[in-house]
Amino acid sequence: MSNRSLEELQQRLQYRFKNPALLRIAMTHTSYANEAKVPTRHNERLEFLGDSVLSVVVADYLFHHSTRPEGELTRMRASLVSEEALFAFARTIGLGSYLRLGRGEELSGGRTRPSVVSDAFEALIAALYLDGGIETARAFILPFITEGATAAEDFKTRLQELVQERPGAQLQYTVVDEQGPDHDKTFTVEVALDGRGLARGTGRSKKAAEQQAASQALERLQAGAPHPETS
């Protein structure tokens, strides 16, 4: 990873490392270290630490932001820290393009391999934790897991069930705005009830934005806000 790439990644993270070597190690795969002509540290130890930091932050968030019982919280946490979820999180910041890989790993598609990229994401969390403390790591993690937790709550289904109590009522979700480059888009979605806007939500994916819009609509309807037809 060049100095320029290191700088670009810090800009994307909106965080400047006091010890940039931590970031370099986090982005170094074992294949690169094995092929290096001089001793080179790789990211496996950071991955170990990052996994624990991530688990604590996710558990703390779910404990304070969900009323679900312990068993359901455990399943939600497992979903949010899964390889699939971490790979999706990492892709939103283009993390694979910053990895230092050995030649063989590079040629075999390591930059888009879920196991490689998700491990690097955990190593990055550890690097942020070691450089800036738990609050720095938490600030990085929360935007990802809040969207994931919102999706796990499935507000769309709950809203649909509520609306079904009104015979003939129809819900429609529409993307009303897109911001940012293709690799880092933010979507705004409006949910309409019987053709009239009820609430809006934003997210890094259309699904996340729809879930947030549904969450806002549920709060409005459950608080007794007028139906769009009668407001």
Q: What angle do CA 24, 30, 35 make, to 5 degrees?
A: 95
Catalytic residue among 47, 105, 119, 122: 122
* Per-residue tokens: 221: 């309807």
* Per-residue tokens: 47: 């991955």
- Are 160 and 68 in contact by the 8 Å Cβ rule? The answer is no
**How many Å apart are CA 84 and CA 107, to the nearest integer?**
22
Q: Tell me whether residue 147 is one of the annotated catalytic residues.
A: no
- Are 114 and 84 in contact by the 8 Å Cβ rule? The answer is yes
* 105 CB neighbour count, 10 Å cutoff: 20
Q: Tell me whether residue 83 is one of the annotated catalytic residues.
A: no
Catalytic residue among 8, 44, 51, 106: 51
| Active-site annotation, residues | 51, 122
